[in-house]
């Protein structure tokens, strides 16, 4: 046998280690030696990672799966009613001092006799509101002005010994005061009513007017407050219903508009929360009565 080709072995050669390292054979990686990241030049074929790795179902995603980067909702899961926790209910009830984070409870537990006649048996009453006292500003100002003007006029005419004109001035004052009293009575019988089915406005003394709108037909709702309204806590509500003519659209001078807005919105979007809270309140009231 001949001697191997190449330069003779020299232990003092400075490039010997580099040449041995460069000519060392590369070991082949088998399928059992570790993870393989797909076939490529110089690498063996083996299991490769799919695009869905790392996006599978896991804890905390019940009823949902993830494929790639898109969420997919299980169509067979169906809609489930939201669960109202005790902490959420506690946040809506009054604390020991009587204060609440949001004033969303009905003003009265039972409808007044004026309102009860317009509710059907399966309808759940949520509250009724009279208009803000600012609604009476014009009649009251007219009554005060008439008192001063006609009082001065009656006194002046009495000094002139004109008895007939004095009587007319007094009768005119009584007429103005009667009109003011009528306006006050009309304000007292004017109510905005909320139930779990609809919103209503009932007004009129001799001729009763009842306007209503189902909550399911309300497509848009807003309230407006002028600077005076913000200072005195009243506003105007505007209800829209699918672009159709409706008997109830604009309700002016309603008190506590933010409270009323939250109350109507909660009834529209979270009726289960309303039922759970009111049911809890009723149970607590019965427990207190039993104690």
Q: What is the pTM of this model?
A: 0.59
Beta bridge partners of 125: 195
Residue 48: phi and psi, rounded to 5, are: -110, 160
**Nearest-CA neighbor of 153 among 141, 170, 140, 139?**
170
- Backbone phi and psi for residue 39, each to the nearest 5 degrees, phi listed first: -75, 150
- Asked if residues 179 and 138 have their Cβ atoms less than 8 Å apart, the reply is no
β strands within 117-174, DSSP E: 125-130
Domain boundaries defined on the chain: 109-131+194-290, 133-189
Q: What kind and span of H or E run contains 144?
A: helix 137-159
pLDDT in tens, 177-211: 999 999 999 999 999 999 999 999 999 999 999 99
90, containing H or E segment = helix 86-92
Token pair of 205 as six digits: 């003394």
What's the average model confidence in pLDDT over 82-95? 60
pLDDT at 254 (0 to 100): 94
Residue 55 has pLDDT above 50, yes or no: no
Strands of the sheet containing 220-224, edge to edge, are 220-224, 234-240, 250-255
pLDDT at 85 over 80: no
What is the CATH number assigned to the segment(s) 109-131+194-290? 2.30.29
In this predicted model, which residue has the larger pLDDT, 194 or 8? Answer: 194
Banded model confidence at residue 243, pLDDT cuts 50, 70, 90? low
Question: Across all residues in the chain, what is the average pLDDT?
Answer: 74
Structure tokens at 278: 């009111």
Instruction: Name the pLDDT band for 44 (thresholds 50, 70, 90).
Output: very low
């Amino acid at each position: 046998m001949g001697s191997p080709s190449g330069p003779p072995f020299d232990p003092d050669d400075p490039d010997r280690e580099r040449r041995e390292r460069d000519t060392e054979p590369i070991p082949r990686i088998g399928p059992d030696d570790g993870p393989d990241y797909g076939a490529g030049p110089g690498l063996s074929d083996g299991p490769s990672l799919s695009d869905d790795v790392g996006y599978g179902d896991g804890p905390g995603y019940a009823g949902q799966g993830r494929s790639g980067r898109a969420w997919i909702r299980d169509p067979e899961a169906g809609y489930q009613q939201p669960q109202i926790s005790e902490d959420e209910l506690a946040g809506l009830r009054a604390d020991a001092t009587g204060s609440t984070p949001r004033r969303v409870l009905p003003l009265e537990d039972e409808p007044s006799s004026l309102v009860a006649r317009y509710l059907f048996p399966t309808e759940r009453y949520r509250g009724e509101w009279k208009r803000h006292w600012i609604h009476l500003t014009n009649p009251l100002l007219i009554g005060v002005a008439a008192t001063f003007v006609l009082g001065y006029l009656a006194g002046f005419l009495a000094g002139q010994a004109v008895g007939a004109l004095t009587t007319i001035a007094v009768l005119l004052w009584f007429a103005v005061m009667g009109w003011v009293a009528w306006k006050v009575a009309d304000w007292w019988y004017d109510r905005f009513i909320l139930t779990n089915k609809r919103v209503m406005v009932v007004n009129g003394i001799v001729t009763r007017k009842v306007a209503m709108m189902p909550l399911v037909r309300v497509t848009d709702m807003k309230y407006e407050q002028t600077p005076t309204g913000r200072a005195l806590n009243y506003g105007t509500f505007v209800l829209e219903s699918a672009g159709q003519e409706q008997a109830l659209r604009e309700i002016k001078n309603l008190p506590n508009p933010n409270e009323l807005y939250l109350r109507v919105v909660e009834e529209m979007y979270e009726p289960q929360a309303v039922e759970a809270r009111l049911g809890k309140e009723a149970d607590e009231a019965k427990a207190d009565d039993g104690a």
